[in-house]
Amino acid sequence: MVFPIAGGNESKGYEVSNSLRFNRADTAYLTKSSIGSTTGSGKTFTFSAWVKRSGLGSEQYIIHARSADSQGNFARLEFDSGDAIRFRGYSTTYLDTNRVFRDPSAWYNIVLAVDTDTSGDGNSVRLYVNGVEETSFATDNNPSTDDDLILGSDRAHFLGASYYNNSAAASFDGYMADVYLIDGQQLAPTSFGEFDDNGVWIPKKYTGTFGGNGFKFEFQQTGTSANSSGIGADTSGNDSHFTPTNLAATDVTEDTCTNNFATLNPLAFGDNAGTLSEGNLKHTHNSGDSDVVSTIGISSGKFYAEFKAETVASNRPAIAVYNDYDNGATNYGEVNGSVLFLQDGRILVDNSSIGDFGSISQNDIIQVAVDNDNGAIYIGQNGSYLNSGDPTSGSSRTGSVSNFTAGSVTCFIGTRANSNSFASANFGNPAFSISSGNTDGKYGNFEYAPPSGYYALCTKRLAEFG
């Protein structure tokens, strides 16, 4: 069973407004052949980033630096194939955690702090996750005194992949936000974050210096050139702008460590484990049917999502709302309380048809509005609600395709795909282009305006209205 994510906080301080989505299949990354000045040595530096994973179980590089295209000396911070965090140099693994990181709904703040001048005291390489130092390692080696570990030097750097011998590899799969490299200082994680009143690690604004080779990525821009208008714009003041490769404006998203948006959950497939991509927003499958649900469930409040039918075939894709879905079910859409809108136009409730409402065509936008306060579910298509639905009708539940006792269930929004059809989800953080750009009044990016009183499925709106 997947439970709703706790409400989140209404911000009292530092806000991270954007992240960058890396799609592993695209081999997407940012790169710069030489950063900053020639004075940086790679002996003392701090790297901090917030990351939200999409794919698991494969080697994925967070940041990589190297001295030559034929590889030469290099260093990289990565998730290894077992989902531990590893820091490695050319011939040495310095740290490899025993702990693994497999939550695709969570944002992790990873801080790597290095000073090889202090190698004698065992603190030359320090790793922190969410403000707490990692101390249990499968591998734990100290560099030699004054070792140049490449990161933070003036040599080539890559965010989200490695690159050598004219080929990129080990691409990151997920989101990154609030990324810093500090040259010349080994800093504590409290330079980048703090614990709130609930004991949750949250980001804070860094107020120190960056050094000659430092940089900061806020992902506020959408251009594809290495300048201040580009996706890889450096906002540290050093103007060390990175070049985006296989990244587009749609990869800049509002899903961040201060406002966590729902995605589809790779740990919550039905009978067949399909494939998720584009930051766990695109659902495909090779054969048979594959159901998957959102990472965030709704037990109260009113929330809105959209789905784009990327390809269509007989009866698929199906857009669904699952009430208290059974993780052991053969098909989530056939368990009690589920609603399925099939490609052929039928709406199934508890696996029984309530009518034919016209078929889904390629590129159609399917709307889902869940009113958990009144116990109603509404389905729309390209701006019009089916069954003469009125999501703003409140307790009368006009045109609701499924009625339930308010607050009695937790609803998960999801999709069903097969080998000939698939859909992309938009919980307010779309991976596909939006032509109109509607918000819920404050957050999200939708093709159609959410009904009045309905909100994007994100932690800020859950904190306010969930």
Per-residue pLDDT band at 331 (split at 50, 70, 90)? low
Tokens of 75: 């260093």
Would you call 138 helix, strand, or coil by DSSP? strand
Can you give 398-444 as a three-state secondary structure string? CCCCEECCCCCCCEEEEEEEECCEEEEEECCCCCCCCCCCECCCCCC
In the predicted structure, residue 53 carries a pLDDT above the cut 90:
yes
Tokens of 255: 């899903």
Between residues 118 and 356, the one the model is more confident about = 356
Closest to 384 in 3D by CA, of 402, 360, 400, 366: 366
Asked if the domains 19-253 and 264-465 are classified in one and the same CATH topology, the answer is: yes
User: Which pLDDT score is estimated for 334?
Assistant: 60
Digit-coded pLDDT (tens) for 93-125: 999 999 999 999 999 999 999 999 875 677 899
Contacts of 51 (CB under 8 A, 6+ apart): 62, 107, 108, 110, 172, 174, 175, 176, 177
Query: 264-465: which CATH topology?
Result: Jelly Rolls (2.60.120)
Rounded average pLDDT over 316-345: 73
Stated as kind and residue range, the H or E segment containing 460 is helix 459-465
Please report, rounded to a whole number, the percentage of residues in the chain having pLDDT higher than 90. Answer: 69
DSSP letters spanning 256-317: BTTBPBP-EEEEEE-SS--EEETTTTEEE-SSS-EEEEESS-BSSSEEEEEEEEEE-BTTBS
User: Which pLDDT score is estimated for 333?
Assistant: 56
d(CA 293, CA 104): 13
Would you call 216 helix, strand, or coil by DSSP? strand
Most confident of 2-16, 31-45, 307-321, 434-448: 434-448
Give the max Cα distance, the chain: 74
Beta bridge partners of 262: none
Per-residue pLDDT band at 301 (split at 50, 70, 90)? very high
Phi, psi (5° rounding) for residue 308?
-105, 125
User: Which pLDDT score is estimated for 425?
Assistant: 97
User: Which pLDDT score is estimated for 258?
Assistant: 98
Between residues 29 and 419, the one the model is more confident about = 29
Between residues 292 and 242, the one the model is more confident about = 242
In the predicted structure, residue 9 carries a pLDDT above the cut 50:
no
The 8-class DSSP code of residue 83 comes to: S
Question: Options 1.10.240.10, 2.60.120.200, 2.40.30.10, 3.40.50.970; which CATH number does 19-253 get?
Answer: 2.60.120.200
Beta bridge partners of 30: 159, 244
User: Which pLDDT score is estimated for 37?
Assistant: 65
In the predicted structure, residue 427 carries a pLDDT above the cut 90:
yes
User: Which pLDDT score is estimated for 148?
Assistant: 86
d(CA 386, CA 15): 38
Q: How far, in whole angstroms, is CA 391 from its chain's centroid?
A: 29
Q: Are 160 and 28 in contact (CB under 8 A)?
A: yes
Domain locations along the chain: 19-253, 264-465
Digit-coded pLDDT (tens) for 12-32: 589 999 999 999 999 999 999
Per-residue pLDDT band at 224 (split at 50, 70, 90)? very high
User: Which pLDDT score is estimated for 15?
Assistant: 97
Rounded average pLDDT over 372-380: 96
User: Rounded mean pLDDT of the chain?
Assistant: 90
Q: Are 210 and 192 in contact (CB under 8 A)?
A: no
The two beta strands, 108-115 and 125-129, are: antiparallel
Digit-coded pLDDT (tens) for 163-209: 776 677 899 999 999 999 999 999 999 999 999 999 999 999 999 99
In the predicted structure, residue 437 carries a pLDDT above the cut 70:
yes
Between residues 247 and 291, the one the model is more confident about = 247
Rounded average pLDDT over 298-312: 95
